[in-house]
Structure 1
Amino acid sequence: MKKSDFLVIFTLDDQRYALPLPAADRVVRMVAITPLPNAPGIILGVVNFQGRVIPVINVRRRFRLPEREIMLTDQLIVAHTARRAVALVADAVLDVIAGSEQNLIATENILPKLEYVEGVVKLTDGLIFIHDLEKFLSLEEESSLDQALEAS
């Protein structure tokens, strides 16, 4: 992550998380999610976004948070990785903030086991983990998702 990147701040259960802004394409209101047979457990299903079928990632499951029903007030962060477009379910998207060298901490030495955490941003009211969308899905999950999408 570059020291000057902007970050999209979103919440799950009142806890804040961040994604680098260049990975996020758009934030939209919740829409109906169509189940995708044989998809990995982290995938809730797919949505039609501007004519494209996009898999929806269950961020709660990835972060090991308590499951809850999807609500109409939830939001989808439509984003992209090098391989595909994805949508992430968030309780709310709060803000876009500028990261600066003074408030960014690399995590490889502090939290090496959290492979999908790219860094931490220090704010006056707390810390926010910055997540690496490229590492949200394991290679096995990517392969399983590819097979499920091809079969549908």
Structure 2
Amino acid sequence: MTHQYLVFLLDDQRYALRLSAIDRVVRMVHITPISSAADILLGVVNLEGLVTPAIDMRRRFNLPKREISLSDRLIFARTERRSVALVADTVTGVIECSEHNLIPAQRIVPGLTLVEGIIKFEDGLILIHNLDKFLSLEEEASVDLALAAS
């Protein structure tokens, strides 16, 4: 059995999300900041009338902060509870991966919740992230409050 994943970059590290959770990828648009929100929330974006929280992927993965560039991408995706816009440096494309190339994260680091698995390639590894575990309950509540106030 094979699965499809959207691959994106933050710095030089490759990450992936299940393609079935992705709505679309767009070039960077204006992000309206919300001051009362959790640190992981950059603000909100309005795309075709839909106001969506913009999540700082760099902060989630403890990467150095950098200014958002017009060449960055927004990945619009769905979690169990909401739609989100994830800021990525670039999106490299869609890959297919068979079950035998996928290593479950629990086999490598038990208790790791953000990472669903790891794909092995000759030129390195790709971390597959679990969008449904991406925001903590506190962060979810903060996003809800910030969106209600905006």
Q: Same fold (TM over 0.5)?
A: yes
Correspondences of 1:83-122 after superposition (within 5 Å): 83-122=81-120
- Which consecutive segments of 4 or more residues in structure 1 shift more than 6 A? none
2:117 alignment partner AA? G
Say which SS state the counterpart of residue 5 (structure 1) adopts.
strand
> Counterpart in 2 of 1:75?
73
Q: Secondary structure at the match of 1:68?
A: coil
Task: Please tell me whether residue 35 in structure 1 is matched to residue 11 in structure 2.
Answer: no
**1:39-75 deviations in Å (ceiling 9; x for gaps):** 1100000000121100000000000000000000000
Letter in 2 for 1:141: E
Partner SS state of residue 127, structure 2: strand
TM-superposed CA distance for 1:20, in Å, is: 0.6
- 1:123 aligned to 2:121? yes
Q: Which residue of 1 aligns with 2:47?
A: 49
Match 1:145 to one of 123, 133, 143: 143
Q: CA RMSD in A?
A: 1.0
In the TM superposition, residue 102 of structure 1 has moved relative to its aligned partner by 1.9
Is there any run of 5+ residues in structure 1 with no aligned partner, and where? none
Equivalent of 1:135 in 127, 133, 136 = 133
Name the CA distance, whole Å, in 1 between partners of 2:82 and 2:3.
21
1:16 aligns with 2:6: no
Q: Amino acid of the residue matched to residue 34 of structure 2?
A: L
